[in-house]
Structure 1
């Protein structure tokens, strides 16, 4: 049995849950999120708690139970508090600018890279080397942050590139260190 799936999702007082069949809608002070749930799972609301239960006892359904419970918990947290990731741009001459709904990155290529910001994501630039990505949807936030990081991944010799704030890059010794 899924240990995560057995735990109920506690819903804060200012978050509204609407369950219609296999569709769950979560609304709060930051916005509204919707998700379709697999037909093998059943969602019930009891005393400000959401409970996810299996309709059969297959291993696949049990795995999806834990995942669905985590997704619903992320939806509740997102509409109540929101999520944030910070990216650091390191390198000589590397700069980041935000203009409208476009993030412009000068990251060592011959031309600047234009990154269109998807709907539902807010990006702020602190200084010239710090990108703050915020969203109520944790899945969309992670995907957007990974795409930005993928434009220039950090390299192991000088550490240049785009990395997450708490990410540790293992440095390698160059040619001079081989002697």
Structure 2
């Protein structure tokens, strides 16, 4: 039994929500998002909140129940406040800079890595060793941050590379004489 799925999702102040069949649409100050709920789950508006219930007690319906509730909650907070992921770059000569809409990364390769910013995502570099990824879609923001980190993930010996802000790197001991 889903504990998170039982709670209806309240519609925040300044956000208009609409449920049309299996589609939940949210419009707020940051933009508009929509989420199509799986057919195993029923969704309806009740008292200024969106309620989610499983269609039956099958394992599939119960597994989609809590996930659907969380996705709806994420689109509400996305159109109201947006989401942000911060990345830190560690290493001598490693840096990031914006060139127009593209992110240019110097990560110790023989060439600079150029990452094209997808639509709906904003990338900023307040410092040469810091990258801030923002947007209204939580999944897209996380995916972009993961793709940037993938170019040169943090290595365990010196900790050089691109890491999430606050991420702990398990360090290994170097070889001994």
- Establish whether TM, by shorter chain, passes 0.5: yes
TM-score normalised by the chain length of structure 1: 0.96
Contact 2:43 2:52 survives alignment (8 Å): yes
Identify the residue that residue 88 of structure 2 maps to in structure 1: 88
Can you give the 5+ residue segments of structure 1 that lack an aligned partner in the other structure? none
Alignment of 1:79-118 (within 5 A): 79-118=79-118
Structure 1 residue 77 corresponds to structure 2 residue 87: no
Distance of 2:40 and 2:64 partners within structure 1: 9
Distance of 2:133 and 2:102 partners within structure 1: 13
Runs of 4+ deviating beyond 4 Å: none
C-alpha deviation, 1:40, in angstroms: 1.8
C-alpha deviation, 1:143, in angstroms: 0.5
Moved more, 33-42 or 108-117: 33-42
Residue 119 of structure 1 aligns to a residue in which SS? Answer: coil
Identify the residue that residue 63 of structure 1 maps to in structure 2: 63
What is the count of residue pairs matched by the alignment?
A: 177
Residue 24 of structure 1 aligns to a residue in which SS? Answer: strand
Alignment of 1:19-34 (within 5 A): 19-34=19-34
Identify the residue that residue 175 of structure 1 maps to in structure 2: 175
Identify the residue that residue 53 of structure 1 maps to in structure 2: 53
Identify the residue that residue 135 of structure 1 maps to in structure 2: 135
Contact 2:40 2:60 survives alignment (8 Å): no
C-alpha deviation, 1:162, in angstroms: 0.1
Distance of 2:70 and 2:30 partners within structure 1: 19
Distance of 2:36 and 2:122 partners within structure 1: 25
Distance of 2:22 and 2:91 partners within structure 1: 48
Identify the residue that residue 13 of structure 1 maps to in structure 2: 13
Identify the residue that residue 119 of structure 1 maps to in structure 2: 119
C-alpha deviation, 1:13, in angstroms: 2.4
Distance of 2:2 and 2:167 partners within structure 1: 30
Residue 144 of structure 1 aligns to a residue in which SS? Answer: helix
Distance of 1:87 and 1:13 partners within structure 2: 30
Distance of 1:151 and 1:130 partners within structure 2: 15
* Aligned-residue CA RMSD (Å): 0.9
Distance of 1:109 and 1:93 partners within structure 2: 10
